[in-house]
Amino acid sequence: MHNHMSHFSLKSLFGAVFLFFAFSFGLKAQDGAKIFKQNCAVCHLLTDQKLTGPGLAGVAGRVPPPADEWLAKWIKNNNKVIASGDAYAKTLVSNNGGVDAMTEFEFLSDDDIKALIAYVKNPPPPPTAVAGAPAADGEQQAEVKGGIDPLYLILGAVVILAIIIGALRSVRHSLNNSYNRSVGKDEIPEMTFGQEVKQWMAGHRRLVGVFIIIIAFMGMKSCWNACYDLGVYYDWTTQKGYKPEQPIKFSHKIHAGDNEIACQYCHNSVEKSRHAGIPTVNICMNCHKSIQKTANAGSEVEIGKIYAAAGFNTKTGNYDLPQNPLKWIKVHTLPDHVYFNHSQHVVVGKQECATCHGDLKKMTVAEQKTPLTMKWCIECHRKTEVAMEGNAYYDKMHKALKEKYKGQYDVKFTVDKIGGLECGKCHY
């Protein structure tokens, strides 16, 4: 009994020690990944490709030895390393246009930095592309779906059904001929499947006619539904929930929500053009020439991307550096044959931006909240009343409609009643 308990205690002790070390090392690796994603991923990739900063693949073999010690000092306070006269640090700054835009990470502990360096030196293999993950060139990666494609299941079922039908036809033909032989009748010649179908259809013409009518109506209804939902099938970028990663982590919540900046300030063509327009970097610089850092984590890095785009030199206060235009990714996209006028909806229709774009004042990352299909637009035109009162654009029309329906029941003048469902209003 004593030996049994000792053996059990020894096994338990070894098990506990193994779990402790496994958990400790696993947690350390996880911490390194988390620290990288929170602080470094906005500027660096774990490949040879340059983002805002250089790619980190093989970085331990490029820096002066001992590599871990040099990297720890650089991460902790890169400006201090540069000021010390380190030759490699000066080369890095020179290769970056003479500007060091890297954030100092004094708040990271020594253990955090060790975990970060270990993660960078041994990064995980690149993940398989998933739906919604942006490619390096700004385009969508191929969507990967789990499970079996339903089309293969349908094709498999059709093949199995064809085999069963063929077997049953052969059995039926054999049984019929066996019976005919037993009663002295001639055997039935074997017919192909197509010949049997034609023979059956010739004997059931009315039923076949009904089937044809039903199939024709189903086909027309299917075509109508496809047109009604046009946009969903046109391009993956018209999908509801589309939320691409932008070159700068711009937060609508901070700007339009917390700071109450009007949408029209940045999208200044929305009231006078069919396009809302993408704000130029000069608009960003109106504020961020003086606001170089905020209380939000990573703000200095993101604002630094604005400076890099504008060619703004924070040390001289001049635009004397090379410009690097930002490549924003459009979130809300309509097919080329669809005409939509922002000024008509915002100025004349008095619609809020949130009607089509969702409540951007609460979004950190801009996301397509509505499907923007033809069906969605038509339903909106059918239920949205025309803003006529006090709207000079509709004064004459409003007067004529009030005279026309004078003394009748209260009519709600929705957009569809003034031509909002005419094909030519939205399609070229």
Query: Who has greater pLDDT, 1 or 379?
Result: 379
**pLDDT given for residue 382 in this prediction:** 92
Overall average pLDDT of the 395-403 stretch = 79
Assigned CATH class of 2-121: mainly alpha
**pLDDT given for residue 238 in this prediction:** 54
Q: How confident is the model at residue 410 (pLDDT cuts 50, 70, 90)?
A: low
On the question of pLDDT at 167 being above 60, the answer is yes
Residue 109, sorted as left (phi over 0), alpha (psi -120 to 50) or beta, turns out to be: beta
On the question of pLDDT at 230 being above 80, the answer is no
- The CA distance from 88 to 66, in Å, is 13
According to DSSP, the residues that pair with 338 across neighbouring strands are 427
- Greatest mean pLDDT among 70-79, 81-90, 380-389: 380-389
Domain ranges of the chain: 2-121, 153-191, 252-426
Q: How confident is the model at residue 358 (pLDDT cuts 50, 70, 90)?
A: very high
Residue with the two structure tokens 């004349």 = 348
| Weakest-pLDDT range from 67-76, 213-222, 310-319, 378-387 | 67-76
**pLDDT given for residue 24 in this prediction:** 43
